Structure 1
């Protein structure tokens, strides 16, 4: 299968590192003109420099209306939008205050809502588009150590399904992609204390975390960011034109269901 996104403009939010950066790299390698997004100009510029030609950057905090408006002003239309921006913060339910819940909701859910309102009408007018929400296996397998995160990711799956139905018959697809434990910079930071204590390779520490905390994992390790990005590149392609309204798992088999 040869995926060719030449002539397509793709926005990837939260893409200065981790899964988002890998998605941006994958889309660029498939020929798309890519827009990098992050909160700080320094990190955006660094990511753009790493990716090279035909890449632009917009520094904007999409958890805020002002940041969203800044992005849309700079890039008023796109063929592919990947709402990847997200945060997670382990905390017991009874220690999680309203501010933490609201922060997760604004970053993980409302940023995607605003992007959909801004970019889906233009895709519909052209008769082609791809809108992809980055959810998580935690949407179905709510983690007891961060219920607030799981709830926000369940909302992402519901949002993608609803938007797909809203865009029915337009040539625009909307899907949610559900990574499992993935060895991104954020996960590495979460595991750094254990890595430093044991002096073991970070991949081994991550695998132990997966087997201990996600025992239903079939691959018994953390995925790489590139493995997750591969799914997004496919979903963004012409070849995925019959895939919409789906919750597509790249979870290593963590979700223990047949569907």
Structure 2
């Protein structure tokens, strides 16, 4: 039986690469995108590679869009994998002493509130899968240990909205893993590293394919796999 995976924000960058790699592993992948037309461009590219992918309009900040997406996915009867990839670094993101309240609020609205809303909405379908996986995209910039180290490059990145919202995503990951412990649903977060995308900057050394690999591994964990942690390519990240 073909497994069903949903990747939010999958029309470009790391999200599209996660969709590609899950498709290469035999999943039917639902390519979630806020703009369906942009999503369909990605779908056509992936279908041309022989992958089983379907476009799905999904704006994580719009309750109507989320409900409509759940209705569409309900036709499959279950959801085996949810990858919460959609996120923003809001325009004007800055240091604590300079960031505007609306900028900070917009980061949390998409990166945290939207992620939780989508997870809550799809949880009944994930429960029907029996051995589902939830993967939340995180970052080393959410690590208190790394950002708190003045010798670390992470301490120099002054984007409070992104950093703090992703730290909140880590807490969501831990708390949800605790709630679902023993149900067969494993919940982890993935740090793709700084990849060459419009968010990470096109001069970054890591490719989207390299960044996606961590999330794909967590999405395909066996039943004995971990839950409630954050992983990067080098292994488990410190909080």
Q: Which of 33, 47, 50 is equivalent to 2:45? A: 50
* Superposed displacement of residue 241, structure 1: 3.6
**Equivalent residue number for residue 95 of structure 2:** 92
Cα offset for 1:240? Answer: 6.3
1:81 paired with 2:82, answer yes
1:232 is aligned, of 173, 190, 215, to 215
Shift in Å at residue 92 of structure 1? 3.3
Structure 2: how far apart are the matches of 1:112 and 1:98?
Answer: 20
Q: Deviation at 1:245?
A: 0.8
Whole-Å separation in 2 of the counterparts to 1:223 and 1:238: 23
- In structure 2, the residue matched to 1:69 is 67
SS at match of 1:95: coil
Correspondence for 1:193: none
Distance 1:227 1:68 in 2: 29
1:101-127: per-residue Cα shift (whole Å, max 9, x none)? Answer: 121111111122112212223333442
CA RMSD of aligned residues (A): 2.1
Q: Provide the residue aligned with 1:113 in structure 2.
A: 116
Q: Alpha-carbon deviation of 1:31?
A: 0.2
Q: Please show how residues 93-172 of structure 1 align to structure 2 within 5 Å.
A: 93-140=96-143, 141-142=146-147, 144-172=157-185
Query: 1: CA distance between counterparts of 2:44 and 2:70?
Result: 22
Change in Cα spacing, 1:41 to 1:123, as seen in structure 2 (3 Å) is closer
Deviates more, 1:147-156 or 1:94-103: 94-103
Decide whether aligned partners of structure 1 residues 131 and 184 sit closer, same or farther in structure 2, where only a CA change above 3 A counts: same
| Structure 2 portions without partners, runs of 5+ | 148-154
Structure 1 residue 187 corresponds to structure 2 residue 200:
yes
TM-score (ref. length: structure 2):
0.84
Runs of 5+ in structure 1 lacking a partner? Answer: 1-5, 189-201, 207-221
Count matched residues.
220
Structure 1 residue 160 displacement after superposition: 0.7
Paired residues of 2:8 and 2:58 also in contact (CA < 8 A): no
Q: Point out the structure with max Rg over C-alpha.
A: 1
Find the aligned partners of 2:94 and 2:66 in 1 and give their Cα distance: 28
After superposition, the C-alpha distances for 1:167-196 in whole angstroms (9 at most, x for unaligned) are 1111110001123211113233xxxxxxxx
